[in-house]
Structure 1
Amino acid sequence: MSSFSTLRRFSLFTQQRFRNLHSSSISQSSSSSSSNPHSNPKWGSAIVVASALALFYCFNTPNSHFEFSNNAPRSSSPPLFEKSSLPESTHDHLLFGDAYRSKVFFNYEKRLRLHSPPEKVFEYFASCRTLEGELLMKPVDLMRAVVPVFPPSESNLVREGYLKGERNPGHLFCPPSEFFMLFDVDNDGLISFKEYIFFVTLLSIQESSFSAAFKMFDKDNDGEIDKEEFKKVMQSMRSHTRQGVQHGDGRRTGLKANASVENGGLVEYLFGKDGKGRLKHDKFVQFIRDLHDEIVGLEFAHYDYKSRKTISAKDFAHSIVASADLSHLGRLLERVDELSNDPRFKDVCITFEEFKNFAELRKKLLPFSLAIFSFAEVQGLLTRDDFQRAASHVCGVSLSDNVVEIVFHLFDANEDGNLSTEEFVSVLQHRERDIAQPVETGIMGFLSCCWKCTDTSPSSRLFS
């Protein structure tokens, strides 16, 4: 039965009911009739209209039932609720379209990641809340809090986090993370604030610095470290990241970080339940490598909105330019939008293998940038074949033709068919730096200084 016919029948029934009630009250005295406002026909008409409107709203609600909040329980142990925000709504009343809104929110989220204290970042991206009010993250929330990402092109989302007074951003159905379940002691698949700080610190250690970081941990120089050595150096490492420096011990509503950040399921995974185990170099290096790989996998799953095992050329382009400086981002996004109208990229899909290979290239950016700048200086132009050969021979990374075509399209600053190597390298360098989020002091400042002070290389101006 349609909502309109149901509404009509309900209205007629209510009016008939009211007439019967009104006729039965005619015999009453006029004084009692006037003293009882509910017997007045005007009040009856108001009741009919209000009831009809309520029924009309009910039948036209997208979920066909009332929801007073988005706090529907997700599991029974422990009870979890989605963070509340305004319900979904149609877009007809919005002053700006979703494309514009998504860019505005992306800029907001980018600044939030780079300049806000970790408590505020966690509060924005965390998607779950316990009955006690504690905010928790899913693994994909952690990825979005660390990596700048656009909403998937096939979704209707306009942002990645939660804002009071804004409609629910929607849900992305990413598969559970087997990696994070390895050290999830309560098997809820969620990340607390203190664990978030811990992971952000670990992600600040770039792969090129894995061994150096471990040797710094290994004060006894025996190739292994114990739990206390690990905790002390993690505290030191955290003090050299922006998130760690601004960490206020979770002093915000919904954040519980009373216990040490260095205690939790991860430490138990590395050192055993009794905490007396020893962590070997190879296990530590592999763990951090796996952590970085998991973030790459979660980013791909984010863009793979319909679980097709591939993403569109536009989504891949978004993942590349998302780390660009805000002053250059607008022009790069215009190049991304052009992909939708270019027949060369209409049916192009990027697999996870291609996506991961490009992520590997970012990790080896310094030797790769030296190779392409040196070649361009001698030869004058860098062709697509030269680009692929540099990635393969210098970095051991295989790039597909589709990936190279998208890169050349995005970073063809002069629209002459050639790659703007400076712009390309600058965007990739921003990605690695923003995830590490170093402050210019201590060991991270020293590593950053070493990265920047390559004055003898043709690319030195890029890292200044």
Structure 2
Amino acid sequence: MRTRILSYRQFRAAIECIGTSLQGKTFPACSAIERQLSSKATSTSEYIYSSKWKFPTWISLGVATAVSGWAVSKVEIADEEIHLLPLAVRQRIFFKYEKRIRDRSSLDKVFEYFSSQEKDGQEFMTPVDMLCAVVPTYPPSESTIDRMGHLDGERRATPSGWNKTQASFLQQFDVDGDGLISYPEFLLLLTLVSIPGKNVKTFFDVVDLDGNGYVDKEEFKVVVDLLSDMANVHTSMVGRSKKLSLDDTSTGLLLKFFGKDGKKHLYLSEFRNFLDKLHEELVNLEFAHYDCNRQGSIPAVDFGRSLVAAADIRHVDRLLDKVDSMTTDMARERISFEDFQAVHGMRRNIHTLGVALEFFRQLDRLLSKEEFGKLLTKVAGVSLSRRVVEIIFAVFDNGRGGLDVPAFLEAMQRRDITWARRRNMDSEGTYPTSLTDL
């Protein structure tokens, strides 16, 4: 269906209407604008917030309809117009919009939205941009940031927390050493980060038929071609897609693996170690994203949001409301990097943990916090602190004081970047042209 373009004047009028309404005033002209926008809006039934937001239902509907079903494209949106909406509302709107972009858009659109740098007329990413493009991230609670990317027509701004001299493991994908990541390099990263840890050896064995434990440069290209096909990683989703090719990308990484002459061998242990460090770097960047004041710890609310950020779009509002409803004492807690890293270790072993939790659930036994901690240590080799377990149970509460196992596993499993979601996409891709196509 062809998307209608929302004019700047219409967008401004709608935002002014909503902003005025949020201040406790209404104008007759507002209803006419809302009716016009609502005629093109998608359902907003999922966008009604909990009572904690203190907004009447019709105002939430107004926010959704003002930005739903319309393309805000090639339009200069002045900061003062967007900032008429409360920061918390803007953050939730853009968070869900960006989830749609990551999950359903063609990869060139993902790159275009999250890239913050331009050089010689080409778009590039910083390491922080890369994080935001591949990992669902909520704006930090201790900042005034309301989005991670940019709308068409907006000026790009370098994300906080990054500069060109900052070292990053991701710079190994960088060809010319300027600290920026090109679109083909982005595709390669997405392909590599999509490899499940338990399947690394399997992919090697497929190519390494002689069983010598290593692959050469040409064999590695075969592996990447296979993975990019499975992940549906293509350089374009418009018309006939062009496959990712190592001939037009990743010189830096190929040099690292195979040397200048391309004669070196890449051993399984070396490649596995590289992938582990790649995931560790994403964890480091994600923690730094929420630790925007560089305190070495993050607020409990940000930690809770990081837990649920990957949940299905149909469930994420309910989970985010639970995060916002944490007790005052719990909300005052701060999560260390060690705790944050331990949760990542749990997530990397979620398949094994999931089998154990599902078995527990089938027994119809109420899983206590203590039992959860012991089970996690035994089957996944991960130890979580008391405060982390408390937050997990508060966010994924089943209403009986136990853990909602299906909701917990769904959020954790979707957190990993896999090819499954993109493999099931429509061949044309689905780019969300409205802020709340929800």
Structure 1-normalised TM-score? 0.69
* 1:357 counterpart = 2:342: yes
Change (3 A) 1:90 1:438: closer
Deviation at 1:374, TM superposition (A): 2.1
Aligned position for 1:217: 207
Higher relative contact order (CA 8 A, sep 6+): 2
Residues 313 and 348, structure 1, Cα contact 8 Å, conserved in 2 = yes
Q: Distance in 1 between matches of 2:286 and 2:396?
A: 22
Deviation at 1:180, TM superposition (A): 2.5
Aligned position for 1:208: 198
Structure 1, 98-107 or 304-313: larger mean CA deviation: 98-107
Deviation at 1:167, TM superposition (A): 6.7
Aligned position for 1:43: none
Aligned position for 2:116: 127
Residues 183 and 268, structure 1, Cα contact 8 Å, conserved in 2 = no
Change (3 A) 1:259 1:373: closer
Q: Distance in 1 between matches of 2:141 and 2:75?
A: 23
Deviation at 1:432, TM superposition (A): 2.1
Deviation at 1:358, TM superposition (A): 0.6
- Deviations 1:328-380 (Å, cap 9, x if unpaired)? 111111111113xx222233111111111111111111211221232344461
Equivalent positions of 1:253-332 (< 5 A) are 260-332=247-319
Matching residue's letter, 1:274: D
Q: Distance in 1 between matches of 2:150 and 2:322?
A: 29
* 1:335 counterpart = 2:319: no
SS at match of 1:344: helix
Q: Distance in 2 between matches of 1:430 and 1:183?
A: 25
The structure with the larger Rg is 1
Change (3 A) 1:115 1:352: same
Aligned position for 1:368: 353
Change (3 A) 1:410 1:167: farther
SS at match of 1:106: helix
Matching residue's letter, 2:101: L
- Deviations 1:301-320 (Å, cap 9, x if unpaired)? 11111111111100001111
Q: Distance in 2 between matches of 1:269 and 1:321?
A: 36
Aligned pairs, number: 349
- Deviations 1:146-188 (Å, cap 9, x if unpaired)? 1111111111111100112447667321473431234544221
Structure 2-normalised TM-score? 0.73
Q: Distance in 1 between matches of 2:239 and 2:194?
A: 19
Deviation at 1:90, TM superposition (A): 4.7
- Deviations 1:41-97 (Å, cap 9, x if unpaired)? xxxxxxxxxxxxxxxxxxxxxxxxxxxxxxxxxxxxxxxxxxx99698457x74532
Aligned position for 1:407: 392
- Deviations 1:267-318 (Å, cap 9, x if unpaired)? 1111111211111111011011111111111111111111111111000011
Deviation at 1:390, TM superposition (A): 0.8
Equivalent positions of 1:25-424 (< 5 A) are 89-90=79-80, 94-130=83-119, 132-166=120-154, 171-174=159-162, 176-182=166-172, 184-244=174-234, 246=236, 260-339=247-326, 342-378=327-363, 380-414=365-399, 416-424=400-408
Q: Distance in 2 between matches of 1:333 and 1:129?
A: 34
Q: Distance in 2 between matches of 1:357 and 1:258?
A: 35
Residues 223 and 280, structure 1, Cα contact 8 Å, conserved in 2 = yes
Q: Distance in 2 between matches of 1:398 and 1:392?
A: 5
Aligned position for 2:22: none
Q: Distance in 1 between matches of 2:396 and 2:121?
A: 46
Residues 102 and 133, structure 2, Cα contact 8 Å, conserved in 1 = yes
SS at match of 2:328: coil
Q: Distance in 1 between matches of 2:269 and 2:240?
A: 33
Q: Distance in 1 between matches of 2:280 and 2:250?
A: 23
Aligned position for 1:50: none
Structure 2: 5+ residue runs without aligned partners? 1-73, 426-438
* 1:431 counterpart = 2:415: yes
